[in-house]
């Protein structure tokens, strides 16, 4: 019997099989941020075990609330900062050099095909875009990961989603994943790995694949995963060029991970994008999805472009393309948060930041802040936000606020219109 | 091992997410105890917030996909500091379920028809769950009625509960 990519990764990392289908796997990377890690650090200290399994494999960023907004968030940063120094963790990204975790860690080349990655953050599934098994975990799993370099999972069951057809102009990876979640539901892939395959994925950039994998958790999946291919090799080449004689040899090595043709799947879903239109959520769950045209005219108070879902350079380019030469509606507060300093810098060089500012957007530093209602764009009771983020839960961006999830193109067009609407990029 | 018996808080909706269990704005707290007043703050069931009903409860009974969304372990912690060590549901989100066992708490799945029976028999009444962890048995009592339901917990999950959580378990077992 053949193996799926996730099964191959598990087989090469399994260190224990304590019972049933539970496998304890070794970890290639443990990512940390200031919201879920400090309590793990405090617990390790109180146990007299203030150490890490491998300082090279631990990557740390302050991203959720940065710069600190109050004494509590300042203390979270301090606990993380002091711990990194004590434990000789070199890859620590603080104010000025920090970005949204699931954007900055790939950008630094910290994720490779075949890796196992955990982080105390549910959107860790993003890193599966590189052909890695990457899973969000709680603080206790994180704590054991930091201390021992292992984590326990059920042996992976996989849902294969075959994405076929041709994306219409103005329809993006965000629309594809919203469409998929709308189809399978928020509980549709619980406990499973979603393997995204097919011609649409093959032609996607790494950024688009990250958007696709990022929201796997919104269908309950443990990880999203894409096959490594030449696009993956090109993205990683500057980090791996000393490890392989050529891109072709790297590709051959990575593609050994690809699922066997006789691999066994829990589910296989066909998703054709030929008729897919730009999508938007309407309720408090990410599977409550409609075509944008069905929500056209819904007034918005704030438009937010950023996050681990859609704060990368391609996302900003698309939004800028819509905004160029236009002003956002007077009643709209436009906020753009480039996801990393690298994205910010690139956007400045390309003139994108100027387009945003000329349109009337506020440009913030890289941070997760607004997405989960912690800082930099919290909604008031009764306000509505058009957002490129990943969660529309009740109260997510502020108590009593309503969040509509959409692509950067739709968000930019909605900022100009003052209500939810399709971008001119969308050609029916 | 913790106490897994107690009065029941019924939460009659599927897909209750961790933002509803404990909103993100409280994730800046660095102690578990500080989360206590905020459990279920953003949850609305039939336009009603059930957080006023938490006092004196030790068990939650709910529907499918409980604890979906964020990975925050603050969700089980917020339950635990309110004295709730057991959640019985039709199903759980993976991370939430794992977080419960990692803390030595109990997250037990029952078939949809059993959950339906519990809601139809006991919801809205003072209900008590007596848990016999050794015999895998719940005895649910309320309003003069009693239902016994057996449950399963995997060997691994059982060993986490008995060890008091994953840190103690892993620390003993792995180098």
CA distance A185 to B124: 29
Using CB atoms, pick whichever of B64, B99, B166 lies closest to residue A144: B166
Rounded to 5 degrees, what angle do the CA atoms A406, A408, A412 make?
A: 100
Give the pLDDT confidence score for residue B47 in this predicted structure: 83
Q: Where are the extended beta strands (E) located within chain B?
A: 6-11, 57-62, 86-89, 106-109, 127-132, 137-142, 145-150
Question: Please, what CATH class does the domain formed by A5-270 belong to?
Answer: alpha beta
The dihedral region occupied by B117, where left means phi > 0, alpha psi between -120 and 50, and beta the remainder, is alpha
Pick B6-173's CATH classification: 3.20.19.10, 3.40.50.150, 3.40.50.2300, 3.90.1150.10.
3.20.19.10
Contact A147 B170 (CB under 8 A): yes
* Nearest CA distance, B138 vs chain A (angstrom): 24
Q: Do domains A5-270 and A281-417 have the same CATH topology?
A: yes
Contact A339, A308 (CB under 8 A): yes
Sequence ranges of the domains in chain A? 5-270, 281-417
Residue B42, chain A, CB below 8 Å: the answer is: yes
- Pairing between β-strand B6-11 and β-strand B57-62 as defined by DSSP bridges: parallel
Contact B57, B8 (CB under 8 A): yes
- CA distances to A3, A402, B138 from B163, in Å: 34, 42, 21
The residue in chain A having the minimum alpha-carbon distance to the alpha carbon of residue B69 is A218
The dihedral region occupied by B93, where left means phi > 0, alpha psi between -120 and 50, and beta the remainder, is beta
Give the pLDDT confidence score for residue B175 in this predicted structure: 79
CA distance A79 to A81: 6
Residue B156 with chain A: CB contacts under 8 Å: 18-20, 22, 152
* Nearest CA distance, B152 vs chain A (angstrom): 14
Residue A359 tokens read as: 């349109």
A345 or B172: which leads in pLDDT = A345
Q: B 56-115 residues with CB below 8 A of A?
A: 64-65, 68-73, 76, 91, 93-95, 98-99, 102-103
The residue in chain B having the minimum alpha-carbon distance to the alpha carbon of residue A21 is B156
> For the purposes of burial, counting CB atoms within 10 Å of the CB of B119, is it exposed (0-12), middle (13-18) or buried (19 or more)?
middle
The residue in chain A having the minimum alpha-carbon distance to the alpha carbon of residue B164 is A140
Residue A394 with chain B: CB contacts under 8 Å: 19-20, 42-44
Residue A57 tokens read as: 């494999």
Q: B 149-168 residues with CB below 8 A of A?
A: 154-156, 159, 165-167
Rounded to 5 degrees, what angle do the CA atoms A83, A85, A89 make?
A: 90
Residue A26, chain B, CB below 8 Å: the answer is: no
Residue A290 tokens read as: 């409609």
**Could you report how far apart the first and last alpha carbons of chain A are, in Å?**
44
How large is the ipTM? 0.96
Residue A152, chain B, CB below 8 Å: the answer is: yes
Contact A394 B20 (CB under 8 A): yes
Give the pLDDT confidence score for residue B99 in this predicted structure: 98
Confidence of residue B156 (pLDDT cuts 50, 70, 90): very high
Average confidence (pLDDT) per 10 residues, chain A, 428 residues: 97 96 98 97 96 98 98 97 98 98 98 98 98 98 98 98 98 98 98 98 98 98 98 98 98 98 98 98 98 98 98 98 98 98 98 98 98 97 98 96 98 98 93
The dihedral region occupied by B6, where left means phi > 0, alpha psi between -120 and 50, and beta the remainder, is left
The residue in chain B having the minimum alpha-carbon distance to the alpha carbon of residue A220 is B93
Contact A353, A331 (CB under 8 A): no
DSSP run (H or E) holding A323? helix A313-323
CA distance A31 to A25: 16
Of A201, A204, A150, the C-alpha closest to A29 is A150
Contact B166 A141 (CB under 8 A): yes
Residue A137 with chain B: CB contacts under 8 Å: 71, 95, 98
Give the pLDDT confidence score for residue A295 in this predicted structure: 98
Of B75, B58, B59, B74, the C-alpha closest to B16 is B75
Torsion of CA A46, A50, A52, A55, to 10 degrees: 140
- pLDDT 10s digits, B13-33: 999 999 999 999 999 998 899
In CATH, the number for domain A281-417 is 3.30.499.10
Query: Strand, helix or coil at B158?
Result: helix
Q: A 205-244 residues with CB below 8 A of B?
A: 217, 220, 222
Contact B42 A35 (CB under 8 A): no
Confidence of residue B72 (pLDDT cuts 50, 70, 90): very high
* Nearest CA distance, B59 vs chain A (angstrom): 21
């Amino acid at each position: 019997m053949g193996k799926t990519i996730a099964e191959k990764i598990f087989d090469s990392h399994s260190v224990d099989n304590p019972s049933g289908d539970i496998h304890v796997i070794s970890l290639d990377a443990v990512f940390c941020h200031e919201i879920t890690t400090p309590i793990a650090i405090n617990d390790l200290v109180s146990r007299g075990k203030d150490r890490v399994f491998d300082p090279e494999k631990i990557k740390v960023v302050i991203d959720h609330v940065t710069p600190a907004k109050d004494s509590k968030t300042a203390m979270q940063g301090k606990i993380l900062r002091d711990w990194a120094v004590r434990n000789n963790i070199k890859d620590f990204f603080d104010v000025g050099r920090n970005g949204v975790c699931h954007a900055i860690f790939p950008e630094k080349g910290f994720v490779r095909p075949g890796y196992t990655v955990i982080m105390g953050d549910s959107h860790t599934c993003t890193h599966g875009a590189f052909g890695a098994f990457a899973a969000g975990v709680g603080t206790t799993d994180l704590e054991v990961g930091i201390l021992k370099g292992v984590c326990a999972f059920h042996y992976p069951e996989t849902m294969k989603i075959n994405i076929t057809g041709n994306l219409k102009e103005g329809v993006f990876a965000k629309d594809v994943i919203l469409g998929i979640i709308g189809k399978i539901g928020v509980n549709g892939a619980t406990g499973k790995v979603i393997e995204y395959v097919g011609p649409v994925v093959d032609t996607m950039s790494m950024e688009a694949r990250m958007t696709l994998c990022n929201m796997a958790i919104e269908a309950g999946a443990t990880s999203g995963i894409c096959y490594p291919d030449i696009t993956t090799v090109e993205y990683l080449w500057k980090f791996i060029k000393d490890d392989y004689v050529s891109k072709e040899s790297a590709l051959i090595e990575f593609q050994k991970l690809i699922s066997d043709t006789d691999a066994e799947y829990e589910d296989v879903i066909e998703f054709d994008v030929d008729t897919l239109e730009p999508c938007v959520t309407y309720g408090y769950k990410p599977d409550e999805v409609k075509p944008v045209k069905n929500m056209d005219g819904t007034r918005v108070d704030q438009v937010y472009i950023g996050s681990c879902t859609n704060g990368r350079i391609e996302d900003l380019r698309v939004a800028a393309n819509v905004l160029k030469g236009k002003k956002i509606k007077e009643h709209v507060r436009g906020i753009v948060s480039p996801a990393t300093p690298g994205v910010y810098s690139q956007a400045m060089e390309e003139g994108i930041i100027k387009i945003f500012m000329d349109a009337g957007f506020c440009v913030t530093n890289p941070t997760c802040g607004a997405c989960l209602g912690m800082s930099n764009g919290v909604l008031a009771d009764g306000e509505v936000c058009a957002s490129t983020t990943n969660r529309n839960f009740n109260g997510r961006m502020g108590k009593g606020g309503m969040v509509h999830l959409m692509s950067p193109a739709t968000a930019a067009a909605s900022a100009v219109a003052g209500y939810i609407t399709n971008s001119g990029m969308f050609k029916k | 091992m913790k106490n897994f018996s107690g009065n029941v808080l019924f939460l009659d909706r599927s897909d209750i997410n961790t933002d509803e269990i404990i909103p993100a704005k409280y994730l800046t707290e660095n102690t578990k105890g500080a989360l206590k007043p905020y459990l279920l703050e953003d949850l609305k069931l039939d336009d009603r917030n059930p957080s006023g009903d938490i006092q004196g409860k030790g068990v939650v009974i709910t529907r499918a996909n409980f604890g979906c969304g964020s990975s925050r372990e603050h969700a089980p912690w917020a339950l635990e500091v309110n004295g709730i060590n057991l959640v019985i549901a039709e199903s759980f989100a993976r991370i939430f379920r794992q977080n419960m066992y990692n803390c030595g708490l109990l997250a037990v799945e029952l078939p949809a028809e059993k959950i339906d029976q519990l809601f139809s028999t006991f919801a809205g009444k003072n209900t008590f769950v007596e848990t016999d962890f050794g015999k895998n048995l719940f005895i649910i009592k309320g309003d003069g009625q009693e239902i016994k339901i057996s449950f399963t917990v995997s060997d691994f999950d059982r060993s986490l509960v008995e060890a008091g959580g994953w840190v103690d378990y892993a620390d003993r077992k792995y180098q």
